[in-house]
Structure 1
Amino acid sequence: MSAPAEQAQITLQSPDGARATLLLHGGQLVSWVPAGGAEQLYLSPTSRYGAGVAVRGGVPVIFPQFAAQGDGPRHGVARTRAWELVQQETGDRDALAVLRLQDDADTLRAWPQAFALELTVRIAGRTLEMELAVENRGEARFAFQAALHSYWAVEDAARVVIEGLQDRRYLDSLRGEEGVQHSHRLELLQGQPIDRIVYGPAAPLRLVGLGESSTRRLLIETEGFDDAVVWNPGANHGLADLPAEDWRRFVCLELAQIEHRPVLDPGEEWVARQTLTCL
């Protein structure tokens, strides 16, 4: 589902037919359709839009804190701010856009650091590339957390497995308990919520739909992100901006930098990337 027409949008289309849509609000990717494929991202039909509001779905940019692991707004300031488009182009084989956000009086009240973010989105064929760059524009060093909080569309969250997390430590944020993922496959339980931070997923991850009718196979590769997060609110979520049964329609599998916070001196930059391929 697309965002409301009144939202400032950037539409990308590569020569091979791949398409993507970004909102300037939050610098948020809300649609990705690979060449010859179907919509890959979930966007809630009841999501709210407007200044200071986080859009439910797509790929929100989390910065400078994850969840409530800091003194500022939950998941930081980036996902509720207006970004600017600094570059958009279509090449012979791809299309890309670069969006930028930097500190202002409002962000400095929430997090007293001078920063700039650049999000680069490139589509080609059945591949999506997203790069997040963080720059310290101030006079003091700072540490931060970051994530690309991706909502992947699925037929049924209870019939999805995630591969590639074997032997990784995790924190169950719902129970406050740590453990180790022993199985090669992580399965989501029918109707049950999950909120798990997995530390150090060095191997590529795969999101795989089960069942004869499912063709869902997504490969997720990273450079620069050390952690991953698996989240679904379950059947009894009570979220006002999510229809009651739509917990079935997505799985959040996001790449993140949570446990080891990057530290930037003045003028330094940190960069991380994720590459998504429909198999």
Structure 2
Amino acid sequence: MAESAKPPVELVKGINGLDKIVLRGTRSSSVEVYLYGGHVTSWKNDHGEELLFVSNKAIFKPPKAIRGGIPICFPQFGTQGSLEQHGFARNRFWSIDTDPPPFPANNTYKAFVDLILKPSDEDSKIWPHSYEFRLRISLTPGGDLILISRIRNTNADGKPFSFTFAYHTYFYVSDVSEVRVEGLETMDYLDNLKGNERFTEQGDALTFESESLNNSLVWNPWDKKAKAMADFGDDEYKHMLCIEAAAIEKPITLKPGEEWKGSQEFCAVPSSYCSGQLDPQKVLHG
């Protein structure tokens, strides 16, 4: 079948036989999403160039979360109480949502998929709440990647619940030592390497010479931590950078029937783009 004749949305088998959704846009742009974790593992631009990082040692086998791409951290980021690190959404099997609620603005896009996650009996033992987590993943005609998350409290006992959340995005970079992250100047951050002490970013751009700060969740494991991770190549830290949109410092609380919505939009701009013009409120929002 010719490449141009392939459908904009296709369910195929991925690594280790796991179900994978492929979204195809114009030219060579595409997105790949595993139902395991509701996990985006690939986003390619119009030239077919990969923009996300997935480790060559990533383990595509439950219950291990996939190392790279865009893991979904819910109902917590980090490690707290009896919940596993970064919650359980990233290592559960999501379903294709056959009856999604209306989503705004992008109903003209052909390349999108709606996923849904509901609590299992096992999950209810460690996090005793009823919820519906809906996730729409879209590839726009221009090649942009949009993720929209909608989390609803469906508790029948009248109890609210609180959660933290992150799109734990791993970007592919040719050389992390040459990367600049702009748009974060004057913003407060908590330094995870200094006991979550609060600082204010003073520089006009972040550059990387060591393990990164918890700065709007900006992270690179660097050499020592990379070697300590079984599902991460020793030198792969040179080619990745996590920049994560999140709701962490102040947990979100939902009463029964209430819904929270958070979104993130990714777009690739030409290398000739004039630096110093990024608006963090447009880059990260939720």
Please give the TM-score of this superposition, normalised by the length of structure 1. Answer: 0.83
Does 2:198 match 1:178? yes
Q: 2-side partners of 1:78 and 1:113: how far apart?
A: 14
Does 2:230 match 1:230? no
Partner of 1:99: 115
Partner of 2:181: 162
8 Å CA contact 2:29–2:44 kept in 1: the answer is yes
Partner of 2:235: 245
Partner of 1:115: 131
Partner of 2:262: 272
8 Å CA contact 1:14–1:93 kept in 2: the answer is no
Residues 144 and 37 of structure 1: is their aligned pair in 2 closer, same or farther, counting only changes over 3 Å?
same
Residues 93 and 81 of structure 1: is their aligned pair in 2 closer, same or farther, counting only changes over 3 Å?
closer
Q: 2-side partners of 1:274 and 1:147: how far apart?
A: 10
Q: 1-side partners of 2:118 and 2:131: how far apart?
A: 6
Partner of 1:194: 212
Deviations 1:72-121 (A, max 9, x none): 11100100100011259x98754101111011111112211111111111
Partner of 2:41: 30
Unaligned runs of at least 5 residues, structure 2: 1-12, 100-105, 270-286
8 Å CA contact 2:42–2:50 kept in 1: the answer is yes
Aligned with 2:77: secondary structure? coil
Q: Cα RMSD between the aligned structures?
A: 2.0
Does 2:149 match 1:132? yes
Q: Which amino acid aligns with 2:113?
A: A
Deviation of 1:126 after TM superposition, in Å, equals: 2.8
Aligned with 1:100: secondary structure? strand
8 Å CA contact 1:16–1:93 kept in 2: the answer is no
Residues 94 and 160 of structure 1: is their aligned pair in 2 closer, same or farther, counting only changes over 3 Å?
farther
8 Å CA contact 1:14–1:91 kept in 2: the answer is no
Structure label with greater radius of gyration: 2
Please give the TM-score of this superposition, normalised by the length of structure 2. Answer: 0.81
- Aligned partner of 1:7 among 4, 15, 18: 18
Deviation of 1:37 after TM superposition, in Å, equals: 4.6
Q: 2-side partners of 1:19 and 1:87: how far apart?
A: 22
The structure that is helix-richer by fraction is 2
8 Å CA contact 1:83–1:100 kept in 2: the answer is yes
Deviations 1:116-147 (A, max 9, x none): 11111111223111111111111310111011
Q: 1-side partners of 2:181 and 2:94: how far apart?
A: 32
Q: Which amino acid aligns with 1:120?
A: R
8 Å CA contact 1:61–1:78 kept in 2: the answer is yes
Deviation of 1:178 after TM superposition, in Å, equals: 2.1
Identical columns (%): 30
Q: Which range moves more in the overlay, 147-156 or 171-180?
A: 171-180
Unaligned runs of at least 5 residues, structure 1: 199-227
What does residue range 39-50 of structure 1 map to in structure 2 within 5 Å? 39-50=50-61
